[in-house]
Amino acid sequence: MLYNRHYWLIITLLMVVVVACQTTPTEWPVYGGNKAGTHYSALTEIDTTNVAQLQPAWEYHTGDAEEKTQIQVNPIIVNGILYGVSPRLKLFALDAATGKEQWVFDPVDTVTDKQGKGYFSMNVCRGVTYYANNGKDARIFYAAGSHLYCIDAANGKPVSTFGTAGKLDLHKDLDRDVSDLYVASTTPGIIYKDLIIIGTRVDEGVTAAPGHIRAYDVHSGQLKWIFHTIPQPGEEGYNTWDDKEAWKHMGGANAWSGFSMDEEKGIVFAPIGSASYDFYGGKRTGQNLYANSVLALDAATGKRIWHFQTVHHDLWDRDLSTAPVLVTLNKDGKNIEAIAQVTKSGFVFLLDRKTGKPVYPIIETPVPATSDLPGEKPWTTQPIPSFPLPFVRQLLTEKELNHIVSDSSYQDIKKRWAATQHDHLFSPPSKQGTIIFPGFDGGAEWGGPAYDASTGLLYVNASEMAWILTMVDTKNSGHNKETNLEAGKRLYATTCMSCHGAERQGSGNNPTLVGIQQKYTVDSFKALLAAGRRMMPAFTQLSETEKEALSSFIMEQKKSQNNPFIPPARAEDVYRKMPYTSTGYNKFLTREGYPAIDTPWGTLQAINLHTGKLAWKTTLGDYPELKARGIHSGTENYGGAVVTAGGLLFIAATSDHTFRAFNKRTGKLLWEYNLPASGFATPAVYEKNGKQYVVIACGGGKLGKPSGDSYVAFALGNKK
């Protein structure tokens, strides 16, 4: 008996030691916190009782912000080192407790404008990926422009044995020549064993590359597998494209918003974007798999396990803008392993993790199926989840128009609203003008939701903004008798107008081109067209004569406008010759510049996935002048939230420069701090030397807000 008692005492002590060794995760090693995509931290030092005492612990300035640059990065923290990216896409490592710089890697080759100021041919970066083999051979993968870099995590030097001198050209390995098309990457890849799985950002116009998903060996850079998101002959989904040659020409259907993973099951989940061209599908009639689908792939081989398409034959740019979250649902007393996919439209799709079958009914619902654009064939039904209910408004009625502006302004927006097609979430694009609501930037966006498994609450921040999509005819004839000015206008309509507006005035988050000749010479402007800049793709498909014509129109070059345009010597690509284009990404605004819809314009909500009901909902963000009138309007928001075991939800994301902490159970605002620039990014939570920190990138640069260059970390009991 004594022996047995000692035996069980030893076993008990060993169990205590094992539990003690399984410590609470203290770092933020993966984009979004973990591969499940939950944005969750188990740290508890900062909680509801002391969060009001948070103060800046350190601030790091990258020193390379420019006009309209951004930082959308959710940094990672591994072994006490924070890895982040600057506005000019410099990769850096900091001591996570002090913000002291350890090293910087600069991938940028610059082109100089007329003032001698360099610009870079890259877009935003949202994070990086860490790999180590049993704590050794640690390396960072991140994308800058069209290259995937492999960087030694210890010293910031390229790993020469990976790819070519430490990088891969993302134009390659797509089973199609896309060397003259735009291919980049914004959201980091994900690691499975010795593979890095990556998606890409491609052009959203007619000259889009395909968005196939690829996996590379982390050591050599050798391609290990590819999944064709636009299926090829013999592959499942091929018959959902009416044109059987579409796979050779069509683009998009890309996993630009990242991945989540069930590592134990070896399943990687990919959210897929829309097929190109976004707003006219007459050249891609059919259901268009795997565009707008959640894909479950075997992470080791890239083989399809299941898919679920959330929009058929998308005409509204309703990409799946964030990776699904791994959740566990309680239904009828049983726990179900599932994924939760939030969308721009405000839906939450709950799908069984192993099979992709809906956990609750998703109804194929009849939608408007006629278009005033000849050749277009809208799909006749769309999948509508029955559970939970949408988390944003989805129909802009007269009752929902902005009532807080002057009467004359209200009458103006009422008149413009009445002139549009606005009766359905799925009203097709039109020459008349179609209300897109929720808009092109959400509902839910790339920041993604947060999830607390202990409560079953899914936290989603959303923008509620209406946009007006107007289609116009394109002019594709008369090439042989055009002047540079005429050709420039035509090329602008087919190449630039959908982003920069009919009058070059800018649209959405895209800047005005009026007066651009004050910033660029003809040569530097043509170099810009060839290289791209930030969110602007490179237009390498344009010939020199086409660049000259565009330059003469956009830059108002009087000397060359009347010169005869010389067409490039190439065969016409009928797939790139669209009969219609849009006049731009145009927000529906009042004369005063406010959203034309009634408040709220930005929201934060907690959805109970067990019951399908809202646990709470609040506005997110403020316009100072409206707040002074007692109106908490909310603002458009970019970036996600994080939730902690300390009872908190942290989020920046808004245009008012504010970082906030809420009680995760009630939605009560507990703390806020005015940042040096808007934090259009997702925070990270970590611990070092026994102290908990929360860090946010402050890059601004969107929604007309000034750009910033800093990362700010907060902790208890510190002074700046």
DSSP string, 601-666: SEEEEEEETTT-SEEEEEE----HHHHTTT------B-S-EEEETTSEEEE--BTT-EEEEEETTT
Q: Which residue has the higher pLDDT, 120 or 329?
A: 329
Query: Which range, of 115-119, 436-440, 604-608, 613-617, averages the lowest pLDDT?
Result: 115-119
- Is the pLDDT at 617 greater than 70? The verdict is yes
pLDDT of 479 reads: 53
| Residue 568 binned pLDDT confidence (cut-offs 50, 70, 90) | confident
* 3-state secondary structure labels for all residues of 179-232: CCCEEECCCCCEEECCEEEECCEECCCCCECECCEEEEECCCCCEEEEECCCCC
- Is the pLDDT at 696 greater than 70? The verdict is yes
Residue 89, CA distances (Å) to 50, 162, 598, 702 in order = 35, 20, 38, 17
| Residue 115 binned pLDDT confidence (cut-offs 50, 70, 90) | very low
pLDDT of 21 reads: 33
Q: Is the dihedral of CA 589, 594, 600, 601 positive or negative?
A: positive
pLDDT of 498 reads: 66
* Nearest residue to 676 via CA among 720, 708, 714: 708
- Is the pLDDT at 695 greater than 80? The verdict is yes
Q: Which tokens is 365 given?
A: 């619902």
Query: Which range, of 17-31, 93-107, 400-414, 425-439, averages the lowest pLDDT?
Result: 17-31
Residues 52-66: what's their mean pLDDT?
97
| Residue 9 binned pLDDT confidence (cut-offs 50, 70, 90) | very low
Kindly report the backbone phi and psi dihedral angles of residue 642, in degrees, each rounded to the nearest multiple of 5, phi listed first. -125, 150
Alpha helices in 467-510 (DSSP H): 484-495, 497-500
pLDDT of 572 reads: 58
Q: Distance (Å, rounded) from C-alpha 23 to C-alpha 29?
A: 15
pLDDT of 531 reads: 65
Residues 228-255: what's their mean pLDDT?
96
Residues 427-435: what's their mean pLDDT?
97
Q: Distance (Å, rounded) from C-alpha 715 to C-alpha 696?
A: 12
Residues 4-15: what's their mean pLDDT?
38
pLDDT of 3 reads: 40
Residue 306, CA distances (Å) to 37, 295, 303, 379, 581 in order = 19, 6, 9, 22, 34
pLDDT of 657 reads: 96
| Residue 533 binned pLDDT confidence (cut-offs 50, 70, 90) | low
Q: Distance (Å, rounded) from C-alpha 156 to C-alpha 150?
A: 9
- Is the pLDDT at 71 greater than 50? The verdict is yes
* Nearest residue to 467 via CA among 646, 562, 595: 595
What burial letters (b/e) apply to 587-610, b meaning 16+ CB within 10 Å? bbbbeeebbbbbbbbbbbbbbebe
| Residues 458-515 pLDDT 10s | 999 999 999 999 999 987 654 567 787 777 777 777 777 767 877 777 766 677 878 7
Report whether 425 contacts 300 (CB < 8 A).
no
| Residue 12 binned pLDDT confidence (cut-offs 50, 70, 90) | very low
- Radius of gyration of the CA atoms of the chain, in A: 25
pLDDT of 83 reads: 98
pLDDT of 113 reads: 42
Q: Other C-beta atoms within 10 Å of 125: how many?
A: 26
pLDDT of 347 reads: 98
Residues 679-694: what's their mean pLDDT?
98
pLDDT of 118 reads: 46
- From 3.40.50.1000, 1.10.1530.10, 3.90.1150.10, 1.10.760.10, which CATH number describes the 475-577 domain? 1.10.760.10
Query: Which range, of 209-213, 406-410, 472-476, averages the lowest pLDDT?
Result: 472-476
- Is the pLDDT at 7 greater than 60? The verdict is no
pLDDT of 117 reads: 46
Mean of all residue pLDDT scores within the chain: 90
pLDDT of 491 reads: 73
- Is the pLDDT at 14 greater than 50? The verdict is no
- Is the pLDDT at 123 greater than 90? The verdict is no
| Residue 571 binned pLDDT confidence (cut-offs 50, 70, 90) | low
Q: Distance (Å, rounded) from C-alpha 164 to C-alpha 138?
A: 19
Global model pTM greater than 0.85: yes
Find tokens 């707003």 and name the residue: 279
| Residue 256 binned pLDDT confidence (cut-offs 50, 70, 90) | very high
Q: Which residue has the higher pLDDT, 326 or 550?
A: 326
pLDDT of 719 reads: 44
